[in-house]
Amino acid sequence: MNLFNLALKFNGFPIGRAKHLLKTIQDKNGEDFKTYIETQKQDIVAFHLKYNSFYKSFAKTSNPLDWNSVPIMTKSDLQLPLETLLSQGYTKNNVYIDKTSGASGHPFIFSKDKFCHALTWAVIQDRFGWFGINFNSTKQARFYGIPLNKKNYYKEKLKDFVSNRIRFNVFDLSDNAFKQWLAIFKTKPLEYVNGYTSPIVQFAKYLNQKNIVLKSVCPSLRLCIVTSEMLFKDDKVLMESQLGVPVINEYGASELDLIAFENPQGDWQVNSETLFVEVLDNDNNPLPYGEEGRLVITSLYNKAQPFIRYDIGDIGTLSKDSSLKSPILKKLIGRTNDVIVLPSGKKAAGLTFYYITKRIIEKDSSVKEFVIEQLKLNTFKVIYVSCKTLSDKTIKAIIVEMETYLEQGLQIEFEKVDKLIRSKSGKLKQFTSYLNQST
């Protein structure tokens, strides 16, 4: 039974019409596809200039026929009461409403019209279908958070039932919890794992300690799809070894859509059907394929609320092998607000800093996971979960590496905790800077 699609239809999301449009778009090639993209860009700008009072004010000098005249939007531009952002004819009662996780430090409520939300699900089902995953029939092991208040808790449990999935609580990453997870895999015919990277990595480490390959106890398992957190090469190798199945990388944003999905050839294929993705420099000039810059994304179908030339806050590179129809995300570096700023004025990507430390700290098998915080220009704190305190040798090695890659004279603090704080959704933010973002 197609419970998942029936539930979408029941809630007013026309999934059948969305799938038909998606197929029509995918059948376009060459000049037809170029014309489609240009027309959609013009149409979505024209629509919001006509029917959205917020956008009329925000983009008053825009010309739908001149893309360079369309201003860049950021999350802070949209952190307003939702009713002030809705287009004419749309209300809180006839749109899809959700909120971002807040893992970036800037949560906000957003909306999509119901057809746009149906298109989001059409794209997701299409990409998962590359690997034989059917949302109506394939059993999912879901590694996500879950609301703790009763109303939303049971709402999510109902979604899990309709979506043919079993949820694993990522707020408890103890060995006892992992033991219970393993018992579920032994008794349920789960076919794929889907969820946040960090808890799946921790589960893989547990399996490694126990010398267990998950597929050996759950033969039905055939795939793992990770999302929302950075996937490092070493972690992918560990997961594939201990889960016994391929690990596929997904990149999305709840306010937009699925942005990129690793295809069967191993490339991170960008969603060009419902989004228009640009890479811009600091002066908002488009960069050629192969050059690193800010990812700026336009939702081509959301009429409820404008997401037009929306700076998502991530830095990335599109491959030189990209085309308008098949852009390939070569590199995703992290968020622009997760930048290390040093006393000398030097800057570095926060996740690079995290990875330097990760190589050393994980040689100590007692460390389960850790995060890094920048407290002052010269002060950083490594917060880690472990059954024992880091050795002086490990601490010294971390400090040496940090000063080698960054600069001399840094103050590095270490704090052992029983549990790391995750966002309400269950995401883990690996690097956080508490400096003024304008620094």
- Give pLDDT tens digits for 118-129: 999 999 999 999
Positions of CATH 3.30.300.30 in the chain: 339-433
Other CB atoms within 10 Å distance of the CB of residue 182: 18
In this prediction, residue 105 has a pLDDT band, given cuts at 50, 70 and 90, of very low
Q: What proportion of the chain, given as a percentage, has pLDDT over 90? A: 58
Tell me the C-alpha to C-alpha distance, in Å, between residue 267 and each of 116, 138, 374. Answer: 26, 24, 33
Structure confidence by residue, pLDDT tens digits, 260-305: 999 999 999 999 999 999 999 999 999 999 999 999 999 999 999 9
Res. 156: pLDDT tops 90: no
The letter for the amino acid at 225 is: I
CB-based burial, 243-256: b 16+ in 10 Å, e otherwise: bbbbbbbbbbbebb
Question: What's the pLDDT tens digit per position in 220-247?
Answer: 999 999 987 778 888 899 999 999 999 9
CATH 3.40.50.12780, applies to 3-335: yes
Task: Give the pTM.
Answer: 0.82
Structure confidence at residue 212 (pLDDT): 97
- Output the CA angle 384-359-435, nearest 5 degrees: 55
* pLDDT (mean) for 37-46: 97
pLDDT tens per residue across span 300-316: 999 999 999 999 988 89
- Work out the percent of the chain whose per-residue pLDDT is above 70: 92
Pick the range with the lowest mean pLDDT from 83-97, 137-151, 204-218, 333-347. 333-347
pLDDT at 148: 64
Q: Where in the chain is the domain with CATH 3.40.50.12780?
A: 3-335
Averaged confidence pLDDT in the chain: 88
pLDDT of residue 337: 52
Q: How far apart are CA 173 and CA 177, in angstroms?
A: 6
Phi, psi of 256 (to 5 degrees): -110, -80
- pLDDT of 346 > 90? The answer is no
Model pLDDT, residue 412 = 92
Cβ contact 76:106 at 8 Å: yes
Residue 336 — pLDDT band, cuts 50, 70, 90? low
40/235: higher pLDDT:
40
The CATH code belonging to domain 339-433 is 3.30.300.30
